[in-house]
Every structure is written in structure tokens, then in C-alpha cells.
Structure 1
């Protein structure tokens, strides 16, 4: 019996979540963002600074707001960061030898994602602007003005004339577009560099400071395409050249230090949304594109799913100093790894353990790295990976939490399916596990479906184990981490092979572990995992309780109400609504509502535009009309990200409802 106590719901409020490590230009220290939940149950992010020789970090910001995206000037004497301390996210400048931060921008809709020019004279950033906005006359609204504007907007109809008029991240888009702005540091002059009716995504600045690299879809058909292109804007002449051919998608593009090449993640939609991310290198003079990863069969970047990763971190590609190698994170077999690719196509795994590498920073002087890593029993800390492979812990921000709370190590399962696929999964034993005792078991199903469970901290799963449940979770076909054929295998077959994979894992676990009580099985999942939960209870009665979260119940209506429905439906099922509605109905859990005998709890956010709440409403009304055991919980002001980054109070409410439902029926 552990001497530590069991995890509690409110422990979520105690977590220190770290992200975005950044070496100082001299390589002797690093900064990072630490996000916490304050006494008002609001998120607060502070910038932390730590010398490599120290084991103690110093806060660089103290304001009760969200401070993030700190980027150093090349000489290391100044840094720019974004902060919400004035209301909207704006850019602020701080001298690294001390002093107060100075506000640089007052844009009406905020300013984000700063990048320094290599000479330290300019900062480039992104701001949302309307077509007739003047960047020299930007004023951030006060809280009173913002409230008045909101009230006035609620009195007017929303005129919609674009198919992409809303998104789960931004809500209703209105007429704002992401434009790229240049700020001159010495006089704080502003220059708008892009103005097309499109969202421009800032990528990088060339080493000689002459060329801005950005991604955008500037075609007339942009509303109907998920492609984008890379563009080079020549700052002196204002001339723009297109680097790519309009057939792919690109992101995280960066110039090589010698200025001759550009590395970028991307893919050609060969398998639609199930396409593996590739690593491309462009020759700037010839515009020739080389795919370094064409023979790797590995997902590049971080496809790991968790519920506590607040804040983004770099996953690559990043060049080494002599432009011969490119560093990046890759997703493989339930873990993430750190890789180096050479420009001749070689690929070396620099660091690999059974854990989750979620971000990194590179120091050109020592050829060392700061790695952000999480494990199932650690929410995440930073480590120094030296050139000789030595790994040294740098931070210990969750030591109090880890000292007091018992967390469960997962046990790996490898399940052979009936058609000879191998499915990887894990099992958590309950807190205070006793041999010879039977335990209720909860099956967790991830969303995506093209994502991955694995060796990372997952608060919800640890909480269920703390409450006395065995927790089983798997990566059925359709998941990332197992190659292109595997991640593509569920397309056109939702509820087919993927369902059989999941049920085979349940059968395998019950056969392997005598402590699983087969009469007390529960199931839960969100998004695609919510779809699969709905599918399961419509096709088997072996589960005695189910919780479906932000789910899909009807593919016919999903096509028209989701922010991605008009293309995702065809991507995943091969047809759109008017092509073959009968086929979409066959894939819809709502069709099988009469079969449901499992008590079902439906959890849904009111502002979920990815899987809109009408999906939960349809399922609830249908089951209630059939006099089934069902309950519907609607979370106000919550979008699709409720479980990961939603309002802390609502996240706690959600967890309490999940536990209540399983405690009642299991």
C-alpha cells in the first residue's frame, strides 16, 4: 500500500505546466513558460529564467495574466514577449539585465507570435485586421468598450457569405484576417507587410534580413481548400515570390543558417487527414523540393494526446549551425522521439525513451538541447541533453505534487487482432490495488481519430485509477505512431476494424488480468472517442455505464454544422451528404439508438463548433424518447477543448460528472 494519498479532482489546480523552452543566445541559460491556475480559478502564465548551472528558476514576469512566447534579440540584451496584462495579447519589450517591461503594441485584436530579425533591428508579428484597418490608429478597447461592443453585436444579425465562417478556436470569424506586421525597435514604427484577403502565417526571416517567409492560401478557391503555399516577401522591393505549387500544406518552415535552403513540415493530402507529415527541404535558388522523409513511414511532430499540456512548444524542424542537419520530434509506438536528419536523407534518433518529448530548444555553441518531457507519472519538466548523450534534469516544478500524490505506472499490452494487426495499449491498476480483488474497469478511447495515446501524463486516467478503477486505453487502427497504412486503416470503415480492435483489447485484458470484473465495465471517450462510445453502446450491451464527450452521433447533420464537416465527412467516409446519405446513416450511431441498454451520460460544450452540441442533443432526445437511461450535461461557454484548456471550474465539473456516473452504475 502506497504511503502517498490518492489523486483528487482538485489536484488539477496544483499542477505547474511548463512549455516553450528557449535557450538564451549565449547558451548559458534558458527561459520557459509556466502555466498555473490562480486563486480565482483562472489560468496564469509566467516567464521563467534559469541558468544551466542552477537548479532554481527566477520569474521574469509577475502580473496575473498570460505571459508567453518570449523571444530574445540576437545579442541577448532584450527580449520581446506577448502578454494579456492590458486585456488582449500584446507585445512587450524587456531588457534582460532588469527593469520594467514596455508595451510595444495596442492592436485592437491583439498582436502575437513575435520573431526578431537577425540584426535585432526589427520584430515581425501577426495581428488580426479588417480590410480598412489602419495599423497606425490601433487602440485596444477597455473592458467597458469591449462589453459595449459585445452587446451591440448581439443586437445585429451575422451576415455569412463564406463556407469557412466559423472555427472551434476562433468562434465566428467576421471579417478579420491575420496579417504580418514589422516593428522597428529604435523608433517603434509599424509597417504592414501583407494585406490580401487571407490569413497569413508568419514562418521565418532570412539570415540576411532581406526576406520574410510566410504561409497562406491566396487562391480564389481558398474557402474550399486545405492547401497553402510558402511565399517569400522581399522586404526592400516588396516583391513576393511563390515557393510551392498549391497542391500541399506547409507549416513550421525555417531558413537554414547559411540562407540557401528552407526546411518545412507538410504533406500532399495523399491520404487526406490521415496523411503522414513529411520533412521537405527547398533550394531557394532553384525552388527544387526534396522530401527527406519519403522512406521513413513515421509521423513527424508530436501527435500525443493528453489533457494538461497548456502552451505550445517547438517540435521542429530546426537547423544545426552549419546547415547540415535538421532536428525534430517524431511520433512512434506510443512515445515521441528526438531526431536529426541530414540533408542527404539520413535520419538518426538522438534521444528515445518511453516518454513524451513535447518540445525542445537548440544551442549552436554546445550542440546541446533543452528537452521538455512528460511521463505517465510526471506532468512534465525540462532536461539538458548534451552532445555526448548525457541527460541532466533541469527543473522540478511539480515536486510537491509528486511527493504527496500516488500515480500509477501503465502496463503495456500488445494485442493481435483477427486480421493480423498489432494494437498497442496500456492498463493502469487502481490506487491501493489488492491481489485477489475484482475491480471495475473503464475503457478510454482517444479522439482524432488520427492521434495517439501513449507515455504521457493524463490527469483524467490517473484520477479514475485513484477512484478505484482499472483504466484500459489503446491505439486502434486509425491512430498515429504505427505508419501510414495503420493510420489510414479506419477511413471509410468507422465502426468496423477500429471497433473490433478496441473490443479485442477488452477481451485480451480480461483474459490477461483476473482482477478485471467483466460485469462492471465502463467506456468513455471524446470527439471521435465519443463517436466510438456511442457506436459501442449501440452494438453491445457488455458495458454497464458509458460517458460520451463532445461526440458525433449523426454524420448527416455533422456535414453541415461542424466547422470541418464539409470536408472531414468526405475525407473520413469517402462521401458527402448529397453523394450517399444512406452510407452516412449507416455510420451514424443515432441509427442504432434502439439497441442502447447502457446507461449513458452525454457531456457537451455549448460553444463546440468542431462537434456541435446538436450532436449531443439529437442523441439525448432520441434516447429519452425511447425511455432509455440517459442524462445530458451542457457546459456553458465551453468549446471542443473543454477537457484540455477549458475554464478550470468547468474542467473540474466535467471530471466530477464522469466519476459520479461511473460510481453510480459500476
Structure 2
């Protein structure tokens, strides 16, 4: 295999302005020349990563965020750009050594507000006139100005010791933590602080520290680990704040996904939960069992929104607030719907019921009669629209994934982010058509064109096959770069995580299909049982059946490829995956009937009994396994789940395996990966363990990312080439 590398100078990503060149810490856009047309880990990390974007009030300009990374410096840097809404006159506005993020238009588009070093700043639209607006002692994680710009919401971390006790004053250097309940750590951190929204006045002298609108409440807003300013919204008259919170702590938090939308009136300082009635009392919950059939998810109680409700947005006419809503408590992968709440009548309407898949983002039309939303169907995420009566129409089409959508402020066009397996995120202008799939789509950023122009990518194909139970399943085929149809290639079965995450047209900086293609591999990526985009029945068949039909689906896909794709070498197959995909690899290692020559599992569950009590979000194990492993009355699904845990089939392992894990992964603890590796070695099976003490469920640091890719392909090459 051609192990092409990038010139040594590429490792230190070049600066892109005179000011930047004067500061050695600045990391900007790279202008590198590749030694080969094949993607490498270094080339992947040289790409700019487009983030948030916002159109100016007049719709003529767009500001957006881009992240750049330096492998040599082992860090990243966020900058802000501005351009005309047609993509012309693109200019970087920020060139300081510190990252500048979360840019929004203020003062009728005359100024831009942004975050830098935990404070809010403003600048002119040409980047001049920088002025610090806050001097907050705590530091600010996010912000949102009111429409009249008299107020601003500040998101700040407050100390929280409801579960982890404070250190004794006379033992300031102790590293011990006294823990009194569950949810003492979450994702990758110990929970000793929580975010709260503060309401601050905007004056000519700047912005003060504000008042905590949830003062005295031991609850998060936004909700960790991923929530941000999108979980709060201002009413059009600037008098009301809608916010998202799960008002539970400890074990009650750990077993529940019940997150609600609250309205806070800034004049009366009163808060109302608009998901539930004022006298709502949650039904009693058995904390060691799935909530599927418990009273909290009864047909009657579903009227009270016991599921995951997030990301409120007020309609422009001020009559409604809409949000993303999951129906059931305890099910983090329930179908996401659009809920529209009438502020005058209190009526809730679900406007995407005819779309049997997830809604992932949305925005209101200028006339408040239409909502545009992103939805996944058959492995592609496109833009749809619905009216208040629930009449849904698909606007865009194609093999791609849209990641965000908002009105362009001219009331006619949409600003959207889009990516695919062959292109990282770029910004687009979408003009909805009057008929199905007739939207006009125009690309307006070309952040990584200078790199794409130097690379040869593998082509993407789509194929359908029959499953063992006679159903139709779609899988993606990613062909090697410089594909020769007369040759046979080593082939990888890609096992998706989630377990309910779609195998869509995603672009990843780790699980990247094009870098696999560049290394000479065919990739088979099945949309197996349990994935959204093929109807709710298909999506829900995996819960309580992790080792049944979904595993048969994996094998159906790879067997079909071996039989019908002449370029697939059935004697050189590998299986790879992360999270549930890592679990899948550990399970297949004991059940593959010698199909595969090697395996790679990243952050996978290995011992499900251990996983049940190890994971910090207990709702996940409860829903997916049905029961705690000690329950004597456990369901048949639970018995089957624990009986088929991968660790119970190590005696059948006979194939080399690479285990990867992050020690700050509190979702699936590192003991799972270490246990799998140790078991393989004790069985005498060739194995390696790549352990990251400083990474969570993902791999975020540049040099760790490069090591991940090198280790990944070195292992595959060793056994498949």
C-alpha cells in the first residue's frame, strides 16, 4: 500500500494573515501541497472545519466559524469569517492567538458579538473596533441577546456539590471525592459544576454579571453533556425566555430522559413548565427496569411529555413556540418529532407525525406558517417542510447530509450546512421549490477545495439486499481510490454505533470513509436493524435484541457483498466499529464462522453485566437491556441479552483484534476495552490495545487522532494485505 505522507512543513499549519504570522500561536488555514493524491491522517487534520453560521438582518452577509488544527502544536483554533450571502468577498475577521467563537449580528447588523476567552466582545463587520462587553469573574460559555438587545442571556457554570461533597477546608490538596448519589460523573467529567442561564442588562457601559434565573435550583440549563445556547430562546417581544432543563438530580437524573421546556417571564420572574400541567406528579418508577411498559409511559401520561424535549424556538409572529420532542421517558433514541405549542390556548400539535423518522433541526418561516426541518430517510439527511396541520413535503434530495438550517432573513431562502462521505461541512443557500424535491441548492463556501483538488476520492455506491427475515436492507459501498474493477480488494465491514445512529452520508474526522478508500479498502456500511430512516419499526427492533437480527443483518450485508461484488476479496475481510459498533465487533469475534481475518473495536461494550452498572446514564442500559442483571423476574429479552454478552464467547475467539479506548470515557468505561484485550491475550490471540488516558468517547486531540489512524491502518495492513 502507498503510505503517502504530507510534507513536514504541513504538520505546522500555515498562517493566513500578516497579523497571524507575527504570533506563533495562531493556527489558520493551511496552504499545503500534498506529496500524493491519497488522503492521509495529516491531510485530514489540515482541513478547516466549518461551525456555526448566521445571516445578517438584511440577509446580505453571513458570518461563520471555522476551526483549524495543528498536529505539531497539538491544538485547535477557532476563527470568524464574513462573506456576502452569495459567497463572494470572503474575509477572515479574527486573527488573534485566542479562539473566537459564537458570532452573532447585533445593532441591526452594524456590529458582531462573539466569545473570546470566556467574555463577550463586539466588533465592526470589517473586524475593526474590537470592544470587550463583559468582564465576568466566572466566565461565559454561551450567550443569546434579546430581540430588542436590552438584555442578554449568559450561560455560566456554577459550583454544585449536591452529589460530590466539597473538600474539607483543611485538606485543600486531597484528590479524593466523597460521593453520595449517582450522576457523579457525566460523559468525561466529574459533576462539580452545572450550567445556569443568567439574565443581564445591556448598557452603554457594557454587560454586567446578571441574575441567575434558576437561582437555588440544582439543575442544568443547558443540559449536559452537549447542550448549548440552542436550548434557550427569546420571545419576539423580548419578555419571555424559553429554556430546556431536566429538573432531576442523582439517581432520578441517571435513569430519566425527561427534559422539559420552561417559560420564564423577565418582568414577573415567574417560571411555567409548558410540557406538563402545574399539578403533575410523576408515576412511580422501578429504577432497575426498562420504562417501556411502566406507568410513566402509559398512553395517558404521554400527554404530559415525559420524554426528551429540547431546543425551543418562538415563531416570528409570537404566537407559537416549537421544539424537538421525544415521546417516552428513558428512551434516548426515541423518534424526534416537532411539537408546536400555542401560547394563547396551550394546545400542543405534533406536525411531523407523517414523517416516520427523526427531526434533527428546524427553523420557522418568516410568516410563521411553515417549519423547515432536517430529516433522515434511507441513509440521507435532507430538508423538509411542514405546515401547522402536519402536511410534510421533501425539499432537497441527493446523497448528502444537511446538518443545520435557518432562514436567510430575506424570508425566501434558507442557509444550511451540508456534508457527505466525500465532502466535509460547507455552507449552502437553499431556495425551496413549490413541488417535491425541487429546491434550488447553491454552495457558497469552499473551505477545503484546495485540498480536494489534490486528492482522489473513492466513489460511493448504494445497494439493497435481503435480510435473513426477508426484509430489504440498504448498505453503502465505498470503493478504493484509483479503483480497478478487475482487481479484488481487502474489505471492511463497518459496524455503526448508537445503537440507533444512522449510517448516513456523514463526514467524520476519525471514522472517515475516504481515508479508508485512500488506504485501498472497500467499505461495506449496512443500515442494519436499529437505525433511523427506515421507519419506526425497523429502528426499534434492536432494543432488547442486541445480538439477534441486527447481527444477522451485518452478516447478510457482508455475505451479499462477497457473493455479488466481484471486487470484494472474501478471503481478506475485516470488521471495525465504535461504541455499539465496538460491541458488535466483540460479539462477531465469537460468532463470525471464520469470515473475518481481523477486528478493530473502539470504545465498545464487552461485558454487559459490568456495563449495566458502569455507565453513567442508567436510562440507556435499562431501555436497551430491559432489566438489571440481578432481577429474578427479568424479561426474556434481558435474559437473552446477558446470556449473549460478548465476554461469554471469548472461548470461541480465534482472530487478531485491536482494542481502542479512552480512559475519560464514562459512557462506556475503559475497563471494557482493557478486559477484551486482556482476554484475547490470555487466549493466545494476537492483539493490541491503544489506550488514551486523556480522551473520552471520542478522540479530539490532533496527535492522538493521527496515532489513532496510523494504528488503525497498520493493524489492518498487517492482517489483510
TM-score (norm 2): 0.83
- Identify the residue that residue 266 of structure 1 maps to in structure 2: 325
Write the distance in 2 (CA, Å) between the matches of 1:162 and 1:408: 50
**Does the 8 A contact of 2:257 with 2:332 survive in 1?**
no
Question: Residues 537 and 222 (structure 1 numbering): CA distance in 2 closer, same or farther, change over 3 Å?
Answer: closer
Answer yes or no: is 1:294 the counterpart of 2:353.
Answer: yes
Q: Deviations over 1:607-660 (max 9, x none)?
A: 111111000111122222222222211112010011xxx101001101111101
Q: Note the C-alpha offset of 1:577.
A: 2.7
Question: Residues 197 and 661 (structure 1 numbering): CA distance in 2 closer, same or farther, change over 3 Å?
Answer: same
Q: Deviations over 1:188-222 (max 9, x none)?
A: 23232221110123521111111111121335744
5+ long unaligned stretches in structure 1? 133-151, 302-314
- Identify the residue that residue 168 of structure 1 maps to in structure 2: 187
- Identify the residue that residue 157 of structure 1 maps to in structure 2: 176
Pick the aligned partner of 2:79 from 46, 65, 71: 46
Pick the aligned partner of 1:250 from 295, 309, 320: 309
Alignment of 1:100-179 (within 5 A): 100-107=129-136, 110-130=139-159, 155-169=174-188, 171-179=189-197
**Does the 8 A contact of 2:458 with 2:483 survive in 1?**
no
Q: Note the C-alpha offset of 1:53.
A: 4.5
Question: Residues 98 and 31 (structure 1 numbering): CA distance in 2 closer, same or farther, change over 3 Å?
Answer: closer
- Identify the residue that residue 305 of structure 1 maps to in structure 2: none
Q: Note the C-alpha offset of 1:534.
A: 0.5
Q: Note the C-alpha offset of 1:286.
A: 2.2
**Does the 8 A contact of 1:121 with 1:186 survive in 2?**
no
- Identify the residue that residue 493 of structure 2 maps to in structure 1: 443
Answer yes or no: is 1:658 the counterpart of 2:694.
Answer: no
Question: Residues 545 and 157 (structure 1 numbering): CA distance in 2 closer, same or farther, change over 3 Å?
Answer: same
- Identify the residue that residue 285 of structure 1 maps to in structure 2: 344
Q: Note the C-alpha offset of 1:335.
A: 0.7
Question: Residues 100 and 636 (structure 1 numbering): CA distance in 2 closer, same or farther, change over 3 Å?
Answer: farther
Pick the aligned partner of 1:379 from 424, 427, 439: 424
Write the distance in 1 (CA, Å) between the matches of 2:716 and 2:489: 12
- Identify the residue that residue 588 of structure 1 maps to in structure 2: 645
**Does the 8 A contact of 1:41 with 1:649 survive in 2?**
yes
5+ long unaligned stretches in structure 2? 1-34, 162-170, 223-230, 277-303, 434-438
Write the distance in 2 (CA, Å) between the matches of 1:588 and 1:181: 49
Pick the aligned partner of 1:82 from 110, 115, 134: 115
Answer yes or no: is 1:426 the counterpart of 2:476.
Answer: yes
Pick the aligned partner of 1:498 from 542, 550, 553: 550
Question: Residues 153 and 428 (structure 1 numbering): CA distance in 2 closer, same or farther, change over 3 Å?
Answer: farther
**Does the 8 A contact of 2:151 with 2:199 survive in 1?**
no
**Does the 8 A contact of 2:479 with 2:523 survive in 1?**
yes
Question: Residues 365 and 515 (structure 1 numbering): CA distance in 2 closer, same or farther, change over 3 Å?
Answer: closer
Write the distance in 1 (CA, Å) between the matches of 2:610 and 2:154: 38
- Identify the residue that residue 311 of structure 1 maps to in structure 2: none
**Does the 8 A contact of 1:361 with 1:369 survive in 2?**
yes
TM-score (norm 1): 0.89
Write the distance in 2 (CA, Å) between the matches of 1:49 and 1:323: 28
- Identify the residue that residue 66 of structure 1 maps to in structure 2: 99
Q: Deviations over 1:254-294 (max 9, x none)?
A: 11111111111111127823311011011112221111122
- Identify the residue that residue 7 of structure 1 maps to in structure 2: 39
CA RMSD of aligned residues (A): 2.3
- Identify the residue that residue 685 of structure 2 maps to in structure 1: 628
Equivalent residue of 2:395, what SS?
Answer: strand
Write the distance in 1 (CA, Å) between the matches of 2:649 and 2:114: 52
Q: Note the C-alpha offset of 1:101.
A: 2.9
Alignment of 1:154-233 (within 5 A): 155-169=174-188, 171-187=189-205, 188-189=207-208, 190-195=210-215, 196-201=217-222, 202-218=231-247, 221-233=252-264
Write the distance in 2 (CA, Å) between the matches of 1:55 and 1:447: 39
- Identify the residue that residue 572 of structure 1 maps to in structure 2: 624
Question: Residues 4 and 346 (structure 1 numbering): CA distance in 2 closer, same or farther, change over 3 Å?
Answer: farther
Alignment of 1:494-573 (within 5 A): 494-540=546-592, 541-564=594-617, 566-573=618-625
Q: Deviations over 1:308-358 (max 9, x none)?
A: xxxxxxx22x11122111111111111111112111221122222221111
Write the distance in 2 (CA, Å) between the matches of 1:371 and 1:406: 26
**Does the 8 A contact of 2:55 with 2:85 survive in 1?**
no
Write the distance in 1 (CA, Å) between the matches of 2:55 and 2:172: 44
Write the distance in 2 (CA, Å) between the matches of 1:341 and 1:112: 33
**Does the 8 A contact of 1:206 with 1:213 survive in 2?**
yes
Q: Deviations over 1:507-562 (max 9, x none)?
A: 11111111211111111100000000000011122210111111100111111221
Question: Residues 478 and 400 (structure 1 numbering): CA distance in 2 closer, same or farther, change over 3 Å?
Answer: same
**Does the 8 A contact of 1:452 with 1:479 survive in 2?**
yes
**Does the 8 A contact of 1:549 with 1:603 survive in 2?**
yes
Pick the aligned partner of 1:238 from 269, 281, 295: 269
Q: Note the C-alpha offset of 1:366.
A: 4.4
Question: Residues 528 and 219 (structure 1 numbering): CA distance in 2 closer, same or farther, change over 3 Å?
Answer: closer
**Does the 8 A contact of 1:372 with 1:382 survive in 2?**
yes
**Does the 8 A contact of 1:182 with 1:192 survive in 2?**
no
Q: Note the C-alpha offset of 1:56.
A: 3.8
Write the distance in 1 (CA, Å) between the matches of 2:517 and 2:717: 12
**Does the 8 A contact of 1:19 with 1:359 survive in 2?**
no
Pick the aligned partner of 1:321 from 354, 366, 376: 366
Equivalent residue of 1:233, what SS?
Answer: strand
**Does the 8 A contact of 1:339 with 1:351 survive in 2?**
yes
Question: Residues 413 and 159 (structure 1 numbering): CA distance in 2 closer, same or farther, change over 3 Å?
Answer: same
Q: Deviations over 1:440-496 (max 9, x none)?
A: 111111110111122233453211221111111111011111111111011111111
Write the distance in 2 (CA, Å) between the matches of 1:25 and 1:413: 44
